[in-house]
Structure 1
Amino acid sequence: MKHSSNDIKNRKMLKITIISTLGGLLFGFDTGVINGALPYMSLSSQLDLTPATEGLVSSSLIFGAAFGAISGGTLSDTFGRKKMIMCLAIIFFFATIGCGLSPNVFSMVLFRIILGLAVGGASVIVPTFLSEMASKEQRGRMVTQNELMIVTGQLTAYIVNAVLGNVVDNEGIWRVMLLVATVPAIFLWFGMLTVPESPRWYASKHKYWPAYNILRSLRDEKTAETEVREIKTHIDNEQRLKLESRISFKQPWVRRILYIGIGIGVVQQVTGVNSIMYYGTEILRDAGLATKAALIGNIANGIVSVLAVFVGIWLLGKVGRKPMLMVGQLGVISTLTLLGIFPIILGDSPIFPYIVLALTVTFLGFMQGAIAPVTWLMLSEIFPLKVRGFGMGASVFFLWIANFLVSLIFPILLGNIGLSNTFIIFAVLNVISIIFVKKFLPETKGKSLEDIEDYFKSQMKTKKQNAQSIVKQYK
């Protein structure tokens, strides 16, 4: 049976998507696997973790990820997307082995930081690689598939944890849970050998012929020629914009966008979402479930996260960014408040663990279906072209730092003030977050990137004029 040229090109794009998004799968797996491994690591016969060292072990990966994210883009600009993803696969592999064989807390934290560098790098480089390989029509779907692979990786980690925890009766099973991640790392490295480099990266090095040949293998010739010309024009403009960007942050309206971008990243993390993604098993154990039952129950969190991403993708085309974000935050505040109240009302009731599970699942529905997709979309929309790279990098860096702080203090709060008070604190933080969103975030749906830039310029101009008129009144 003969296949048409378009079928062959589509299969190549599918292959590129599946292989490169293994980086997203590893991102999800490595951030999620700690959820089920911590109860076993904490045993006196293993790493003998306290609430403080639990937080340190879990958050050390996130600390590394912050620096992996901020350096990953620069390194991939220098050495290429494909080469850097292959380097990430090597780091994933050896750091995972280091974590799985760690004899003490110090070595575990060290290897988790190294693993975090790969996670942070993957969070930046994989979406960049996908967006540069895809055509304009495919770009949204391909990049979104990476987000889907991240939550699929977390779900896979929860399932692996539940199976190993219930089938194998050994306190050292956490080592096997961690070491499972070496398998997709191997597939990622060998798989990347079979895919081409980003044509956009070749063009950035003024190697337009290799860029054209790669595009021609993925598009028809006319489209490939047009795209190379567009890339060249864009690169020429970027050279000029780089000179302008040096003075851009001296302009108040640009600084305002940067502060808003950082705020959006922090708002996503103070929901406490990663307290559930990383410590879901611990929360269910604290609520009264046995470890093996908690591992099984935690699978529900992963399933809902995957389904909610599909809902979020659909909603983005139907609903405004700002109302979608605010509805998500109202849902998060409500569920966090109930998680704070029910431990006081129900106490030792046998149904309490299942109510906690139902509420965490509801929380994740609001979070992954509304707040998370809007966060990443708005970060990609609000920055002017000339500062987009730095603005995105700074915002994502602060997002990871906020994630690190939440991951570090959550088990300490849980161990010292209990489940109820911990969730009440997060509910209060989200009340502050919703005020920030209502007051400072613009609506960006249906507006071009240039329209958004003009909005911020005009807003700052109006603010300046109002200030001047007030001064005149008092003169």
Structure 2
Amino acid sequence: MPWFLQDLGTYGIGLFTPTILARTAGHETTAGHGIGATIALDASAARGAAVIDALLIIGVLAAVVMADRFGRIRLQVLGFLGCAVGLALAAASPYADEPVRTILLFTGFMVFNFMTNVGPNAQTYLLAGEVFPTRIRGKGAGFAASFAKIGAVLTAFVFPVLLSAAGTGPLLALLVATSLLGAWVTWRYRIETTGMNLEEIDRGG
């Protein structure tokens, strides 16, 4: 379930960051814009997305350093909470004036990208590969990954519809809720594998 919830946000933001940047920052094409202006606006949004996505790399490097030191569960919970904070900042951006609007949007997405890779985007892979008893470890990890990709596919098809129907703010607020739910589910059903060898986990199963 945490991996499914994480993929809703990660793929939603990852796939549609340029669209959200253009829409929220007020750079959508309007009547009177020619094809050249449209291409220029899309290119500008893509450059903004590239800057934001750099935080994904920093986040995963931080996860490599911190996973064994702080524990998978703690990082996953904190990551989900950080994602919620970042998405809340981005969700507030459509209701602010410039330059606050752009600052909230970019800051929110940067916080989200960093925290998702420090937390659930990295830790779900680790936990799924460690938490199951040996006899079902492959099946368990495969099931977890396949269930997560349901969230990814669902996001790819449903996110544009919701973005068009509800707007950026409400959609991002929904992702805030899924991130908070991910933190709760992780903590409520936690099995910490940090510092344990696979044989200990197997006996515990």
| Equivalent position SS for 2:192 | coil
Give the TM-score, by structure 1 length. 0.39
Question: What residue is the counterpart of 2:11 in the other structure?
Answer: 274
Q: Which residue in the other structure is 1:418 paired with? A: 167
Partner of 2:72: 321
Corresponding residue to 2:102 among 344, 350, 353: 353
Separation (CA, whole Å) in 1 of partners of 2:117 and 2:182: 17
CA RMSD for the aligned pairs? 1.6
**Counterpart residue number, 1:338:** 89
The residue number in structure 2 matching 1:149 is: none
The structure with the larger Rg is 1
Query: What corresponds to 2:47 in structure 1?
Result: 296
Tell me how far apart the structure 1 counterparts of residues 73 and 45 of structure 2 sit (CA, whole Å).
35
Q: C-alpha separation between the residues in 2 aligned to 1:355 and 1:434? A: 23
Indicate the SS of the match to 1:318: helix
SS in 1 for 2:164: helix
| Counterpart AA for 2:141 | M
SS of the residue corresponding to residue 407 of structure 1 reads: helix
Q: Which residue of 1 aligns with 2:23?
A: 286
Tell me the distance in 2 between the aligned counterparts of 1:312 and 1:384: 24
Partner SS for 2:70: coil
Count residues with an aligned counterpart: 191
What pairs up with 1:326-405 in 2 under 5 angstroms?
Answer: 326-344=77-95, 346=96, 348-405=97-154
* TM-score (ref. length: structure 2): 0.86
Alignment of 1:1-12 (within 5 A): none
Deviation at 1:400, TM superposition (A): 1.0
How far apart, CA to CA, are the structure 2 residues paired with 1:309 and 1:377?
Answer: 12
Would the aligned equivalents of 2:93 and 2:102 in 1 still touch at CA under 8 Å?
no
CA distance in 1 between counterparts of 2:120 and 2:138 reads 22
1:275 counterpart letter in structure 2: G
Runs of at least 5 residues in structure 2 that lack an aligned partner in the other structure: 28-40
The 3-state SS of whatever aligns with 2:119 is helix
Q: Distance in 2 between matches of 1:416 and 1:422?
A: 9
| In the alignment, structure 1 residue 442 sits paired with structure 2 residue 179 | no
Q: 2:3 is matched with which residue: 250, 256, 265?
A: 265
Structure 2: distance between partners of 1:328 and 1:264: 11
What is the CA deviation profile of residues 33-84 of structure 1, one whole-angstrom value per residue up to 9, with x for unaligned ones?
Answer: xxxxxxxxxxxxxxxxxxxxxxxxxxxxxxxxxxxxxxxxxxxxxxxxxxxx
Which residue in 2 is equivalent to 1:310? 61
Distance 2:92 2:120 in 1: 23
What CA distance in whole angstroms lies between the structure 2 residues aligned with 1:432 and 1:311? 24
Aligned residue in 2 for 1:68: none
| 1:447, distance to aligned residue in structure 2 (A) | 0.9
Q: Deviations over 1:320-361 (max 9, x none)?
A: 1111111111111111122222322x1x52442343122101
C-alpha distance in structure 2 between counterparts of 1:325 and 1:413, whole Å: 27
Structure 1, gaps ≥5 residues long: 1-262, 457-475
Structure 1 stretches of at least 4 aligned residues deviating more than 6 Å after TM superposition: none
Instruction: Classify 1:327/1:374 alpha carbon distance in 2 versus 1 (closer, same or farther; 3 Å).
Output: same
Correspondence for 2:33 = none
